[in-house]
């Protein structure tokens, strides 16, 4: 699957996969050598405050004598050398909103990756990124014209990173970018897209050769991390809207829901969510009556005739891909629903309404499709039965196991 | 039993509601549910309609009838879908308006709510929709319902 964060650190670099990390000794290029006794557990070795990073981190960035680590909407600044945990600066964690003050809602729900680049640095949030001119202490200055679309600014090949990246790594004259199970190496200076080196993208796991088995200590607090480091699983998700894409907020909804799902799944469950496609079904007169969907009891294995009719529309979706249908209303025997994951056999999917109240609605419904049931005990959890989960939602160890065993996910 | 608006909102805030979502909600919550009908969260207002439809009091019925005129389609869909749980005369009153709603979704759930309990006028309306509604899917649903009732 890949990694959720990478950190340049002089003669060392660090890669994070959920709640584990490895330290690697390397030069500008090549995989280098993983230091002995890695992977190790983030919480045990870094000892960040307030539970920061216990479930993994989203991004890390070198910045001279300081390093920054990002987890959901919080971040910490750490004073450290090439190796060792260093010391978290006083007053951290802070919220991204308070500390960085990025424009246009950028980073509102966190970021995916951060890249040191000399006098500049870059932050990535879903399909968008910003370039920032570095100063002494954050907030630095966002360069004019940003945010921009990754697809426009970086022009990576083969659709790489079009919907977001998981990690970025500065490495002298080279930079590395990670998108699920693939990565690219780029030759560049402080600014500009540079040039993707020939032969890339390449598969992460094969090239980096991190230790497959983790010698986790007995007191490992997150026993679900049993997949090979940097391995994990991949699932696919596509969106089909019965509301017109051109005249509604559905495109923003899709971007928000996909980005949050992707970030959460990779950070906490080692699952890379590959973006499939988006299709506007609103112009099909034969489907217009399904824009308000009768979902009956919304129980697993009991799709209504209307769900059968709608879910048969799987243009461009792979057999095991989860298709999310966006409709105006979901009405069942127990009232109106925000989402429903009941689907016909062999047509995995879910339906949601365009409610912006919960950024993890698709992640929740996809969790059902992958075999997860509701949680009735804590609103901290993704599968909490109610809306307004305490962010960031947690995925339990047994749930990770179920997700990775689902017939819809496959090893990276 | 929820005793405050915040408790009621929390109880009704299931992503996928079931019977337990409405447990303990009764006549004493009608006033709060009535307030929820104006909530800016459309899905919550629609859910308040369903909760009201489970309460067999005059005040609850009045609130549902008033919601027929709600400008939000989702709320009117919830009213239409609740019609089969209401007394026949009330169901007729609601359906006579919502069967001719401007939105396909509302008309669809109004059609689905019609049963043999409803008046001949309402059932005749279904037969008309089966031949005249501009939406082909809806005509199909109405035709099936006309046969059933």
Boundaries of every domain in chain B: 1-67, 75-149
Classify domain A233-411 at the CATH topology level.
Answer: Collagenase (Catalytic Domain) (3.40.390)
**Is the Cβ of A206 closer than 8 Å to some Cβ of chain B?**
no
CB atoms within 10 A of CB A153: 18
Give yes or no for B78 touching A (CB within 8 A).
yes
Helix or strand run (H / E) with residue A130: strand A128-133
Q: Do B137 and A386 touch (CB under 8 A)?
A: no
The confidence band for A189, taking pLDDT boundaries of 50, 70 and 90, is: confident
Q: Is the pLDDT of residue B1 over 80?
A: no
User: Is A286 in Cβ contact with B137 (below 8 Å)?
Assistant: yes
Q: Which helix (H) or strand (E) holds B88?
A: helix B88-98
Q: Tell me how far apart the 2 most distant CA atoms of chain A are, in Å.
A: 63
The CATH number for A5-208, chosen from 3.40.50.10610, 2.110.10.10, 3.30.1380.10, 3.60.10.10, is: 2.110.10.10
Closest of A246, A243, A318, A250 to residue A287, by C-alpha: A243
> Which pLDDT band holds residue A240 (cuts at 50, 70, 90)?
very high
pLDDT tens digits along A49-73: 999 998 899 999 999 999 999 999 9
- The burial class, CB within 10 Å (0-12 / 13-18 / 19+), for B41 is middle
ipTM over 0.90: yes
Q: Nearest C-alpha of chain B: how many angstroms from A360?
A: 11
Burial of B69 (0-12, 13-18, 19+ CB in 10 A): exposed
Span of A55-59, A133-137, A193-197, B119-123 with lowest mean pLDDT: A133-137
d(Cα B49, Cα B79) in Å, to the nearest integer? Answer: 6
How many cross-chain Cβ pairs, A to B, lie less than 8 Å apart? 95
A25: tokens are: 């000794």
Question: Quick check: A289 and B81 CB within 8 A?
Answer: no
**In the predicted model, is pLDDT for residue A1 greater than 90?**
no
CB contact under 8 A, A336 and B108: no
Tell me what pLDDT residue A97 has: 95
Question: Residue A229 has what DSSP assignment?
Answer: T
Domain boundaries defined on chain A = 5-208, 233-411
Reported as half-sphere exposure (CB side, CA atoms, 13 A), residue A156 has a value of 26
Listed residue (A113, A221, A267) closest to A176, CA to CA: A113
Render pLDDT for B27-63 as a digit per residue (tens, 0 to 9).
Answer: 999 999 999 999 999 999 999 999 999 999 999 999 9
Task: Extract the tokens encoding A32.
Answer: 């280098």
């Amino acid at each position: 699957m890949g990694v959720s964060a990478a950190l340049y650190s002089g003669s060392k670099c660090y890669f994070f996969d959920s709640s584990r990390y490895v330290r690697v000794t390397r030069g500008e290029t090549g995989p280098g050598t993983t230091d002995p006794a890695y992977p190790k557990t983030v919480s045990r070795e870094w000892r960040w405050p307030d539970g920061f990073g216990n479930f993994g981190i989203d991004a890390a960035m070198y910045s001279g004598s300081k390093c920054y680590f990002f987890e959901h909407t919080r971040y910490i600044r750490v004073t450290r050398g090439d190796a060792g945990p260093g010391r978290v600066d006083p007053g951290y964690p802070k919220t991204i909103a308070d500390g960085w003050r990025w424009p246009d809602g950028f980073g509102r729900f966190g970021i995916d990756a951060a890249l040191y680049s000399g006098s500049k640095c870059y932050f990535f949030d879903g399909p968008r990124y910003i370039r920032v001119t570095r100063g002494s202490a954050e907030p630095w200055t966002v360069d004019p014209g940003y945010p921009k679309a990754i697809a426009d600014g970086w022009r990576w090949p083969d659709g790489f990173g079009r919907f977001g990246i998981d990690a970025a790594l500065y490495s002298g004259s080279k930079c590395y970018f990670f998108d699920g199970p693939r990565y690219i190496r780029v030759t560049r200076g402080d600014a500009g897209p540079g040039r993707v080196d020939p032969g890339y993208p390449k598969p992460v796991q094969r090239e980096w050769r991190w230790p497959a088995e983790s010698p986790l200590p007995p007191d490992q607090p997150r026993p679900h991390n049993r997949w090979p480091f940097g391995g994990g699983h991949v699932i696919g998700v596509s969106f089909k809207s019965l509301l017109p894409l051109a005249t509604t907020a559905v495109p923003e909804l899709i971007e928000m829901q996909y980005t949050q799902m992707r970030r959460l799944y990779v950070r906490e469950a080692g699952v890379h969510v590959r973006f499939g496609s988006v299709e506007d079904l609103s112009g099909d007169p034969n489907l217009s009556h399904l824009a308000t969907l009768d979902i009956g009891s919304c129980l697993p294995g009991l799709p209504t005739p209307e769900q059968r009719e709608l879910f048969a529309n799987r243009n461009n979706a792979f057999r095991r891909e989860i298709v999310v249908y966006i409709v105006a209303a979901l009405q069942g025997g127990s009232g109106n629903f925000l989402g429903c994951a009941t689907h016909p056999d062999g047509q995995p999917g879910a339906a949601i309404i365009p409610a912006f109240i919960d950024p993890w609605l698709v992640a929740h419904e996809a969790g059902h499709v992958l075999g997860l049931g509701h949680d009735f005990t804590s609103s901290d959890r993704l599968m909490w039965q109610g809306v307004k989960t305490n962010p960031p939602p947690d995925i339990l160890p047994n749930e990770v196991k179920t997700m990775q065993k689902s017939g819809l996910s496959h090893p990276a | 039993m929820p005793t405050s608006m915040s408790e009621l909102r929390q109880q009704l805030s299931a992503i996928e509601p079931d019977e337990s979502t409405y447990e303990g909600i009764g006549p004493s919550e009608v006033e709060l549910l009535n307030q929820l009908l104006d909530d800016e969260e459309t899905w919550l207002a629609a859910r308040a309609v369903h909760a009201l439809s489970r309460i067999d009091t005059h005040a609850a019925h009045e609130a549902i009838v008033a919601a027929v005129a709600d400008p939000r389609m989702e709320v009117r869909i919830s009213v239409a879908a609740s019609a089969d749980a209401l007394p026949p005369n009330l169901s007729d009153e609601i359906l006579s308006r919502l069967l001719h709603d401007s939105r396909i979704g509302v008309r669809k759930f109004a059609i689905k709510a019609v049963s043999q309990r409803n008046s001949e006028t309402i059932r005749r309306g279904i037969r008309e929709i089966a031949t005249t509604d501009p939406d082909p899917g809806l005509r199909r649903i109405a035709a099936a319902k006309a046969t059933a009732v």
